Amino acid sequence: MNAQYIKIKNHIDGEWLETSNGEYEPLRNPSTGAVIGEVPISCQEISRQATAAAAAAYPAWSSLPLPKRMDYIFKIHRAVEDNLEMLAQAIAIDQAKHIAEARGEVSRVIEILQMACSIPALIQGETVQGIANNINGRLIKAPLGVFCGVAPFNFPALVFGWFIPFAIGTGNTFVYKPSTESPLFMQKMMQLLVNIGLPKGVVNVVHGDREVVEAWYEDNNVNGVCLVGSTPTAKAIAEGCGRGGKKAMLLGGAKNFLVAMEDAPMDLLIDNILMSGYGSAGQRCLAISNIAVVPEIYDEFVARLLEASRKVTLGDALNPDIFMGPVISSAAKERILNYIDIGQEEGATLALDGRNPKLPAENHDGYFVAPTVFTDVTPCMRIAKEEIFGPVLSIIKVGCIDGALRMIRNHDMGNGACIFTQNSYYTEKFINEADVGMVGVNVGVCAPHPYLPFGGIKGSLVGNNKVQGKDAIDFFTQSKVATVRVVNPKGNNAAAKPADANVRSCVAS
């Protein structure tokens, strides 16, 4: 698969499109910098063609009996399970996520699909009997029409799982725009959807940049847009959706804290920081970035972290024996190196410099940054405030748990935060007071299980809708309430007496 030239294609109304509008961007392997294929940069006309196809597919798809629609979700689940390795390889090739982590990402999608299989239970409505004589109230959860989704580069499979099974399982149709930096997963996934016989137009894929998305705001075929991406992108889409009157689910960027208390289990703490801070080369929305450490363990902690960080091996993402792959692009590498300069200018101590890593010869042109650790960081430095999205850790000395909680509260972002401690007072206080959407206790990546919602607060979530769990059902459905008078065809159905206040309020209003 690695040696083949990869031609990414749009998929609209059941067809792979051989051309877009003629413009293509090179697709690169971040482990080597080599061009491995091309991605269409589609124009707005193609974007609208896709939403028209989704709108045309909607009436038949939404009126399909629920068990038949669920049959497709079960088949998608089986297809992902049967093709786990092929899908993981796709992620490791263009996103250069370490192959073990890519397998983990696809495994998580399988769990999400299991959750989506419970849509028939979660989509059930409510009935209130007897709100007046012979009158009942009923709430149903109905699909809306066409949803469109926009993915970030760093979780091509996970974000497919967060959006598509829930959107189509609840009866909507979908247009998906993957990131131009990691489109290969969705190319493979779309082929699997074709193979299981998903009706044409139910899922469409359009590749390209912001233009594809901007076409949706004023498009009458579109009912809602969802994004996982950076906060500026989430805000731009919120504005467009607000103007166009579209529903929106917008997960934004992050800057996550880890708090290490004096009783932190040290081996577990260091192992988790390696995974959380350097896994996916620090390009995770739940990656640890700021580490707040109390004075009692500060020196030992710094020494242990530096020793472990120096041992991190770098190389090709498809090599299972290395620990960490590259970052996504040369631009991302430049941005991270720039933050390392900023940290030094701000007066932090560069305790471990990852700017010139030792690499295998074939990876010399890849986009690598090795583990980098700053000490003597203060919360007001830019390296502590802004999302670096690379393997750079900032260590901040903090007097006690209240100081750590204050830093978390004062930060603009609120995706995740975790604490390492054996003390139940610290644990409960942290769960209650850490001002973030996802909390971890003695776990470095506090990603909730698919049965529970995933999402941050403050700058990490624009609006109020999170992915996964019951929240996904709420987003992809609308509540409709019916007021039903049961009429007896043979009986006396005289109008309600004016004295019956309940009847007056519910029938006359």
Residues designated as active site: 285
With binding defined as CB under 6 A, does residue 153 bind ligand NAD? yes
Site string for ligand NAD, 373-402 (x = CB under 6 A): --------------x-x-------------
With binding defined as CB under 6 A, does residue 276 bind ligand NAD? no
What tokens appear for 113 in the block? Answer: 């699909």
Applying CB under 6 A, among 40, 143, 229, 326 the residue interacting with ligand NAD is 229
With binding defined as CB under 6 A, does residue 449 bind ligand NAD? no
Contact 293, 301 (CB under 8 A): yes
Interatomic CA distance for residues 392 and 369, integer angstroms = 9
How many alpha carbons lie under 13 Å from residue 469 in its C-beta half-sphere? Answer: 13
By C-alpha distance, which of 344, 371, 342, 366 is closest to 355? 371
> Given the rule CB under 6 A, which of 164-172, 247-255, 351-359, 425-433 is the region that contacts ligand NAD?
247-255
Number of neighbours of residue 311 by Cβ within 10 angstroms: 9
Q: Over 451-476, what HEC string results?
A: CCCECCEECCEECCCCECHHHHHHHH
> Given the rule CB under 6 A, which of 99-107, 123-131, 146-154, 399-407 is the region that contacts ligand NAD?
146-154
Count of residues binding ligand NAD (CB under 6 A)?
27
Applying CB under 6 A, among 191, 230, 330, 423 the residue interacting with ligand NAD is 230
Residue 391: C-alpha distances to residues 152, 340, 372 (Å): 18, 11, 6
> Given the rule CB under 6 A, which of 144-152, 190-198, 274-282, 485-493 is the region that contacts ligand NAD?
144-152
Site string for ligand NAD, 103-132 (x = CB under 6 A): ------------------------------
Interatomic CA distance for residues 367 and 32, integer angstroms = 7
Residues in 284-323 at the binding interface with ligand NAD, rule: CB under 6 A? 285
Could you give the 3-state DSSP secondary structure of residue 44?
Answer: helix
Round to the nearest angstrom and report the end-to-end CA distance of the chain: 64
Which residues on adjacent β-strands are paired with residue 148?
Answer: 175, 225
Applying CB under 6 A, among 8, 79, 206, 228 the residue interacting with ligand NAD is 228
Applying CB under 6 A, among 152, 224, 416, 459 the residue interacting with ligand NAD is 152
CB of 231 or CB of 375, closer to ligand NAD:
231
Chain positions contacting ligand NAD, by CB under 6 A: 150-155, 177, 179, 209-210, 213, 228-230, 233, 236-237, 251-254, 285, 387, 389, 415, 456, 460
